[in-house]
Structure 1
Amino acid sequence: MDLQKYFDAPVSRDWQTMNDGTVRFALVGLGWWTTDFVIPAVADSDLCTVTVAVSGSADKAEHVASDVDTLKAAMTYDEFVDGAATESYDAVYIATPNSRHREYAEAAARHGKAVLCEKPMEATVEDAEAMIDACDDAGVTLMVAYRMHTEPMVRLARRVVADGHIGDPRLVQGMNAQPLLEMNGDLDQWRLDPDLTGYGTSVMDLGIYPLNTARFVLDADPVAVQSMMISKHEAFADVPDERATFAVRYDDGTYAACGTSQNAFDTTSLDIVGTNGNLTLKPAFHMETTLTVTTDDGTYESTAESADQMEEEFDYFANQLLAGEKVYADGRHGLLDMRAIAAIHDAADRGETIRL
């Protein structure tokens, strides 16, 4: 089978059906990710604009608003929950600490606004379930922000697997690690606080990438997990997984082995081995992704310039809203990851295989 045609073809938005219309966003949570990545991406997007800034600090919200021409309102979290300026936005993007996602998703649902929520959905399975119920009851769309789903090279990897170019998938190896304390030396940061992050830090924040990206590329779901984890560094005393490894069995019969750590060298990769070849995404989960596919016919590597992942994600979400179509990573998709993450931690505690 000729793989070269896949890599020669220009990267396209195979999901885009709408070219007109604009979805106005309220950004709930104005940390570095929102200010450094989301706001510039939305400014360049085709179907989105930012009109409302929401922060725990009124001064911070006003400061961000003063730098963005399209912003019409700035408010605190309490004002957002109470329904301020609901006429100024159509949808919300939630990028707060995990344990606060539910509160703001429920508020958005009460206000009749669609929700794009950062992964993981929440700090616990129960809170994720409550988010789904709130959005279902209000009849609003809930999507979990897995930016790899709209990354062109990841979408190409999914197509290569679906079209049988590596045969039947057999094994996955995923790795995602970063030196959190070098990136942010504050020991009081929320990713080290179990009340804010959830079951732990490394699997919740980083391990979810290989877990979920493998789901997407394979078009398969996890059905059983095993795990080991440990925390040695004093900064990780309150969370169980300074570093962790976990194994996953997917419902297509593929087995995955994943490693993750918030206290290790910065690296990301995803390898999928099939009966007739293998594909590698490396870097896999950064803002630029490279795809390499190897079969008996040779090795093929992507040469297409990677798109802005946040711009792709926001435009996809807006496209689906404007078209009245379902989103791929809906709340139930995200809930399955939450259940898998809870099971990974349970498996480490019990030393057993946990079935989902």
Structure 2
Amino acid sequence: MSLSVGVLSAAHAHVDAYAGILAGREDVDLVGIADGDDERGRAAADRHGTAYVADGDELLERIDAAVICSANADHRDWFERAAKAGVHVLCEKPLAPTVEAASAIVDVWEDTGIVAGVAMPLRFCEPARRMREALEAGEIGSVRSISGTNRGKMPGGWFADPERAGGGAVVDHTVHIVDLVLDLLGETPAEVYAETDTRFHDIPVDDVNVLSMAMADGTPFLLDGSWSKPDAWHTWGDATLELTGTEGTVAIDYMDQSLTHTVASGDDAGVHTAFYGTDANAGLVDDFLESVRKGRDPEITPADGLAAVAVVEAAYDSADAGASVPVADVD
């Protein structure tokens, strides 16, 4: 069964990844890209051989499902409009900039019964799958400590606008690793102590952070989600997770699935990386489209997205207070 799919906004840096995957599938009709910014929307539509639709509600009338690629502050509006039209939704992360807005999205999802997912694709990479298998086999025993990183480049644009993004590196990067831990261990942190700052860029939001967290049983969880990679870095960043248990340790690095080579001179001089690993974005889209066809929940639901947003909000509250704060109970 072919699905009619649209993209709601081309504001996000990941729009080309998702639109490209959809445009290349034979079982999907990429109907169009809607965007209030005419120039941006037309450029994205042209890149992927689809139509530009200025009126988002008009596009919603023509599609079965949509991917929201807007600025964070606009997720709730797009989600509510899609749900009202009966359109299934895959929403970019974070689900929303605040727990209040994310909770409202969850309410709409539960009330309307649409299929809805959140774009936190690390669950679908091969290293995460192998880590899950190791845990299920009991290879490391009981988990006693957790540490991770999601360090990348500063995206610029609205990502550094506190009103449109809801913050800086914390809101952008924390959710990926927190969601992976939720998938692997079945829970998110119960308490957060966060230190944030702006050290690398002249922007009005945080670009560096270290989150010292604790799970419900006291297990420590340390996370660096800073925008600390130079613009000239040969990859966008990293995504790592290490779990230490009573019987051993297991660690993964998403970017380990790559070859790095250095060119000494000429037009291509510099360090280059060729990624050969699993396409986590494609796995995410596969799961979402299958969930639409089968009428089931995707792997990552709005409830999962809300749980990750609660950790982000607690991190900012902690940084403001200079003390540990509990993560809101959003179950």
| 8 Å contact kept, 1:52–1:88 | no
Q: 2:219 aligns with which of 250, 254, 262?
A: 254
Question: For 1:218 and 1:324, how far apart are their aligned partners in 2?
Answer: 26
Deviations 1:276-329 (A, max 9, x none): 1111112x3x59589xxxxxxxxxxxxx95222221111101111211212232
Question: For 1:24 and 1:307, how far apart are their aligned partners in 2?
Answer: 26
Alpha-carbon spacing, 1:161–1:259, altered in 2? closer, same or farther (3 Å): same
Q: Which amino acid aligns with 1:166?
A: I
For the residue of structure 1 that corresponds to 2:196, the secondary structure is strand
Question: For 2:248 and 2:256, how far apart are their aligned partners in 1?
Answer: 26
- Whether 1:89 and 2:67 are equivalent positions in the alignment is no
Gaps of 5+ in 1: 1-20, 291-303
Aligned position for 1:144:
118
Alpha-carbon spacing, 1:62–1:259, altered in 2? closer, same or farther (3 Å): closer
Question: Once the two structures are aligned, what percentage of the paired residues are identical?
Answer: 23
Alpha-carbon spacing, 1:311–1:267, altered in 2? closer, same or farther (3 Å): closer
Alpha-carbon spacing, 1:217–1:56, altered in 2? closer, same or farther (3 Å): same
For the residue of structure 2 that corresponds to 1:84, the secondary structure is helix
| 8 Å contact kept, 2:72–2:95 | yes
Question: For 2:44 and 2:161, how far apart are their aligned partners in 1?
Answer: 26
| 8 Å contact kept, 2:12–2:70 | no
- Whether 1:326 and 2:297 are equivalent positions in the alignment is yes
For the residue of structure 2 that corresponds to 1:173, the secondary structure is strand
Aligned position for 2:310:
339
Q: 1:103 aligns with which of 46, 66, 77?
A: 77
Q: 1:245 aligns with which of 190, 210, 220?
A: 210
| Bigger mean CA deviation after superposition, 328-337 or 150-159 | 150-159
Question: For 1:350 and 1:271, how far apart are their aligned partners in 2?
Answer: 29
- Whether 1:27 and 2:32 are equivalent positions in the alignment is no
| 8 Å contact kept, 2:118–2:300 | yes
Aligned position for 1:271:
242
| Bigger mean CA deviation after superposition, 241-250 or 44-53 | 44-53
Question: For 2:291 and 2:324, how far apart are their aligned partners in 1?
Answer: 38
Q: How does 1:120-131 map to 2 (within 5 A)?
A: 120-131=94-105
Alignment root-mean-square deviation, CA: 2.5
| 8 Å contact kept, 2:10–2:41 | yes
Aligned position for 2:183:
216
Deviations 1:38-69 (A, max 9, x none): 22222344754422211223344344434545
- Whether 1:349 and 2:291 are equivalent positions in the alignment is no
Q: Which amino acid aligns with 2:163?
A: D
1:190 CA displacement: 0.9
Question: For 1:315 and 1:323, how far apart are their aligned partners in 2?
Answer: 12
Q: Which amino acid aligns with 1:75?
A: V
Q: 2:134 aligns with which of 160, 171, 191?
A: 160
- Whether 1:58 and 2:38 are equivalent positions in the alignment is yes
Alpha-carbon spacing, 1:264–1:65, altered in 2? closer, same or farther (3 Å): closer
TM-score between the two structures when normalised by the length of structure 1: 0.78
- Whether 1:308 and 2:288 are equivalent positions in the alignment is no
Q: 1:197 aligns with which of 154, 165, 168?
A: 165
| 8 Å contact kept, 1:45–1:311 | no
| 8 Å contact kept, 1:176–1:210 | yes
Question: For 1:49 and 1:126, how far apart are their aligned partners in 2?
Answer: 34
1:32 CA displacement: 6.7
Gaps of 5+ in 2: 231-236, 260-274
Aligned residues: 306
TM-score between the two structures when normalised by the length of structure 2: 0.84
| 8 Å contact kept, 1:116–1:144 | yes
1:139 CA displacement: 2.1
| 8 Å contact kept, 2:15–2:69 | no
Q: Which amino acid aligns with 1:90?
A: D
| Bigger mean CA deviation after superposition, 128-137 or 107-116 | 128-137
Alpha-carbon spacing, 1:332–1:289, altered in 2? closer, same or farther (3 Å): farther
1:87 CA displacement: 4.2
